[in-house]
Structure formats: structure tokens, C-alpha cells
Amino acid sequence: MKIIQAENYDQMSHIAANYISAQITLKPDCVLGLATGSSPVGTYQQLIRQYQAGDLDFSEVSSINLDEYRGLSPENDQSYRYFMDTNLFNHVNIDKNRTYVPDGLEPDSHKACRDYDAIIRTHGSIDLQLLGLGNNGHIGFNEPADTFAKGTHCVDLTPSTIQANARFFASMDEVPKQAYTMGIQSIMQAKKILVIVSGTAKAGIVKEAFTGPVTPQVPASILQLHPDVTVVADKDALSLL
Ligand code: GLP
């Protein structure tokens, strides 16, 4: 695991965007695993700038997102599909037919998960998976558990995750309590993984996840076993390492 220290969120975003654009340049038809949350917003802004400057071409890129809230439509401004459209896809020349997010409106959770695993399988492995880090060590929406879930599954979000995500909703009651998430196996099968983390609030979990024991109670800890992980974190997030 390689850890790169950035001065702050902006520098973290620059470094992460350069890493992703290098991947697209080297393999224009690559499959990107993409993430939501506040961590990647700056990275996506940098990618948009590079595209606008004519330095980046998304026309052959495919993307597979990590997760989606169960019950939210793509038009709901809190859905992850909406997030991806507004924070990246609408601003670059990616073919939206090649962008995938779990179907939050599929009421049959088994079908939703099966369909998403089929999409992942069809694409072979993900070339580069971008990840944020949840406050409790979750990746995607793989919450702390007794075992590592392999494939796409429907999760009951933990109270701490519901609380952390409440900042994006008008009230706590509106935060969905369940989500569909790609499993740990699909994440671990990505050829390369890029983790971005920022802020003092994440310092404790960064230390636990990347230097502590590998355990499903801290899902991100499994990344220690992946052969090609790069963590780009700002000074604050690395302050306890
Ligand atoms: C959500 C997402 C994760 C994300 C995490 C951290 O729970 N499902 O993919 O990594 O939040 O979010 P943030 O980057 O806002 O701290």
C-alpha cells in the first residue's frame, strides 16, 4: 500500500485526478469504479477541468459505481445516480449508456444485486477503483460486519452512517436506511485501487484501517491485502499515522 500525503483537500483532489487521468490516457476504454460522497467532489472537478482543457477524453470509458440508496429514483437529488450526473457525467463526454449505478428503484433486492453483479462480470475486472472511506471504515456501503460480503448486496445502514449522511438531507427521517452496494470481492478484484481521505475526523479510522488488523469490523482494512492500493490523504487525515 502506497500512502501519498497531500497538504490539503485541494491538493489531494489534484493528485487523485491526475492518477485517474493517467489511467484514462493509458487505456482509453478503461473501466473505472467510481465513488460518491464529499471526498471525490474535488477530484471530479479537476477531471472536468482537464476535459474542458482538451486533455482528457471519456468517450470510450465505462464506469461502475459502488452503491446506491435503496428506494431513491435517479431524479432524486440525493440519489447517487443524480450525484454522478451532476458532479461528473453531465460535464464530460462519457457515454451515459456505459455508466452504471445500482438500480435504487428495483424493489426486489435479490434481483437488483444479481443484475448489478452481472454488469460487473460483463465488464471483466475494474481497471481503477476509486474509494472514499466511511467514518466507521466502510467502503462503498460495506458496513462493519462479521464477515466480508462478496457480491453486491442490500445493506441496513448503521446508525453512524445514517447520521453521517444526514448532512445531505433535509432531515434525519429522509435519510434512506438501506442501500445496494458492490461487495468486497468485486472491489478487491479491481486491478488498481485509489483511496482518497481528508480531514481530522478520519485520522483515527485511517490509522485503524491501514495499520490495524484486517477484519470485517473495519471493512477498509482488507485493502491492506490488495497488491496495488494508493492512498492519497491530506495531512489532517494522516495526522495519527
Ligand atoms: C458514503 C458512501 C461512501 C463514501 C462515504 C464517505 O457512505 N457510500 O462510498 O466513501 O460516504 O463519505 P465522505 O467522502 O463524504 O466522507
Render pLDDT for 173-191 as a digit per residue (tens, 0 to 9).
899 999 999 999 999 999 9
Contact criterion met (CB below 8 Å) for 66 and 173: no
Give yes or no for residue 67 CB within 6 A of ligand 1.
yes
Q: What is the pLDDT of residue 221?
A: 98
Split at pLDDT 50, 70, 90, the class of 125 is: confident
pLDDT of 226 > 90? The answer is yes
Among 38, 39, 67, 130, residue to substitute to test ligand 1 (most atoms within 8 Å of Cβ) = 39
d(CA 154, CA 203): 28
The model's pTM is 0.97
In sequence order, the 6+-apart residues with CB closer than 8 A to the CB of 128 are 19, 20, 23, 30, 32, 33, 190, 191, 192, 193, 194
Torsion of CA 193, 164, 75, 9, to 10 degrees: -50
pLDDT band at 237 (very low <50, low <70, confident <90, very high): very high
**Ligand 1 contact, 126 CB (< 6 A):** no
Cα 27 to ligand 1 centroid, rounded to whole Å = 27
138 tagged catalytic: yes
What's the gap in Å between 135 CA and the centre of ligand 1? 8
For residue 227, the model assigns a pLDDT of: 98
